[in-house]
Amino acid sequence: MKKRKNVISSNLGIRLFAYTVISVAMICLSSCGKEESPEPDDDEPRTEAIDGLFSVSATRHVQFAQGNLQYTASTFTWSFAKHQYDYIGKDNQYADTAYDGWIDLFGWGTGLYPTLTSSYDGDYPSFNDWGDHIDGGWRTLTITEWNYVLKSRSGANIKHATGTVDGVHGLILLPDHWELPNGCTFRPGCKEWDGNEYTKEQWQQMEAANAVFLPAAGIRWGKDVNEVGEYGYYWTSTPENDSKSFVVFFNGSFINTESSCLRHGGIAVRLVRDTE
Does residue 17 fall inside a structural domain?
no
The residue range of the domain holding 73 is 46-276
Q: What is the pTM of this model?
A: 0.84
Does residue 81 fall inside a structural domain?
yes
Per-residue pLDDT of 68-91, as tens digits, reads 999 999 999 999 999 999 999 999
Tell me how far apart the alpha carbons of residues 158 and 178 are, in angstroms, rounded to a whole number.
11
Total domains, the chain: 1
| pLDDT for residue 167 | 97
Does residue 22 fall inside a structural domain?
no
pLDDT at 237 over 50: yes
Does residue 27 fall inside a structural domain?
no
Does residue 31 fall inside a structural domain?
no
Does residue 8 fall inside a structural domain?
no
Per-residue pLDDT of 103-154, as tens digits, reads 999 999 999 999 999 999 999 999 999 999 999 999 999 999 999 999 999 9
Does residue 30 fall inside a structural domain?
no
Tell me how far apart the alpha carbons of residues 68 and 82 are, in angstroms, rounded to a whole number.
9
Does residue 164 fall inside a structural domain?
yes
